[in-house]
Homo-oligomer: A and B are copies of this chain.
C-alpha cells in the first residue's frame, strides 16, 4: 500500500526545477573512489519523522498523518513502520535510527508489557528490512521522556530509576542487535542538573560511569559488536548536561577508563548550543580518534534551543565532510538526520522536501570537500605553515630532546624567526570559490 503520493525521489541534476528531485545527491556517482551513498550513509530518524507532530512549548500538533488514524496503539505503531519504510525507499535512504519509545507505545513502569510490545513491533520492522534491504544504523533508549526520569536516568537520585534505566538499555541493546544495528547511542537527555543546590555531582557522575561500564559489559556478554556512541549536548532539557561537548565527554571517559569503548555521535545543533562550530566538534573527535557518527541537523545561531533543522548550510556540510574525509570516513557510523520539518511545514510532502534539502546539501558538501582535499588546498597551506616543527629546534621540541634550558639558550642566541600571515581572508575566499565552482 502507498502511504505517500510522492514517487521515488530521483537524481535529476543541478539544473532540475523539480522540487521533488535530487539536484546533488547522485547515489552511485563516484567521489574519491567510492560511490556517494557509501560516503554518505544517510539515516532517517524514526522519532522526528514519524512521531513528531509539530508540538512546541507554546502550541499543539500541527501535523496529521493519515496512517496514524487508527485507535489501536499497536496497529498504529505497525502502520508507522510500514509508512517509514516506504518513505525511506522513496527517499533512497539506506539506514534508520530509533529509540525504543519511537517504535512501540511504551507502558510507563510496566517493563514486561513494554518489552512484549517492542518484540511485536521489531518483528514487523525485520520484515520490512528484509523486504527493502534498509538497515539499522543505530538504536538507543529514550530514558528522558517519561516522568520517572525527572531527576535523571543513570544520574537520578533515585536508585530504582537507575535500575529501570539499566533494564531499558538492556532491552534496547538486545533489539538493536536483533535488527543488526551497527551502533548503539547514549544521549543523556536528563543526565545533568537543574540546580546545584540539591545535586551531588560527584555521585551522579560516578553512577553515570557505572551505567556505561555495565553497558560495555553487557554488549560483550551478548556479543553486540556495534560501536557504542555518546552524543554530547550542553544543555536542554536540563540546565546543565553532563555530556557537555566532545572535550568534556572524552575527559569523562578517560577518567573512568571507558575511552576505549566509546566514540562520539556528534550533532551539529548541539555543537552550536555549546558555542562551538560543528567542524570544531568533529575536529576534536577526529584528532582524538573518537569520531564515530553524526547527527546532521543544525540549529539557528540566533536561537538558544535545539531547533533540529534539516542541514541546508553549505559551509557546514562542506567542512563537516572535510573532517569526515580526513577521518577516513565514519566507519560503522553515518549521517543521521535528527531533524524535524518545521512546525509550519506540516504537509506530508514536507518530509520529502526536508530530507531532499539535507541530502542534497550534504552531497554538495561531499563534492566540495573532496575537491578541496584532492587539490590539497588547506593541507598544503598547513604543511608550509608548520614546517618549522619538521627541522631544527622545532623538530627537537616535537621529539622531546629539549627543555627550558636549551630553549632559553636557543632564544637568547637566535631570537624569533618572523611570523607569516595566517591568510584567513584568502582561505575563506578560496573556500567560497570551491563551494560555487566544484563540478
Contact = CB atoms under 8 A, between A and B. Distances in A.
A277 B234 CA distance: 13
Contact of A419 (B148, B236, B273, B419): B148
Interface stretch (A88-96, A130-138, A211-219): A211-219
- The number of times this chain is found in the oligomer is 4
13 contacts: A58-B144, A59-B237, A147-B419, A148-B419, A150-B346, A166-B407, A203-B389, A210-B398, A251-B254, A310-B428, A347-B420, A350-B421, A356-B429
> Interface range on chain A: under 10, 10 to 19, 20 to 34, or 35 or more?
35 or more
Contact of A404 (B157, B199, B214, B300): B214
Contacts of A245: 244, 248
B247 A416 contact: no
Nearest to A360: B429
A159 B394 CA distance: 5
Contact of A341 (B235, B274, B425, B427): B425
Contacts of A422: 150-151, 194-195, 198, 342, 344-345
A349 B429 CA distance: 14
B353 A429 contact: yes
A206 B389 CA distance: 12
A83 interface: no
Interface in A157-212: 157-164, 166-171, 189-190, 194-203, 205-207, 210
A239 interface: yes
Given A162-B394, A287-B205, A382 B200 contact: yes
Contacts of A283: 196, 201
4 closest cross-chain pairs (CB), A and B:
A304-B304, A251-B251, A159-B394, A344-B422
A14 interface: yes
A160 B417 contact: yes
A412 B112 contact: yes
Interface stretch (A36-44, A74-82, A119-127, A313-321): A313-321
Contact of A435 (B157, B287, B414, B436): B436
A288 B242 CA distance: 14
A328 interface: no
A262 interface: no
Given A162-B407, A305-B305, 5 more contacts: A148-B416, A150-B419, A196-B279, A239-B300, A360-B429
Given A200-B382, A250-B251, A147 B426 contact: no
Interface string A33-66: 0000000000000000000001011111110000
A5 B404 CA distance: 41
Contacts of A305: 57, 236, 304-305
B57 A404 contact: no
Interface string A314-353: 1100010000000000000000000001111111011001
Given A247-B248, A350-B421, A198 B59 contact: no
A23 interface: yes
Contacts of A407: 162-164, 166-167, 170, 214
Contact of A354 (B158, B287, B381, B425): B425
Nearest to A55: B57
A255 B403 CA distance: 20
A15 interface: yes
A265 interface: no
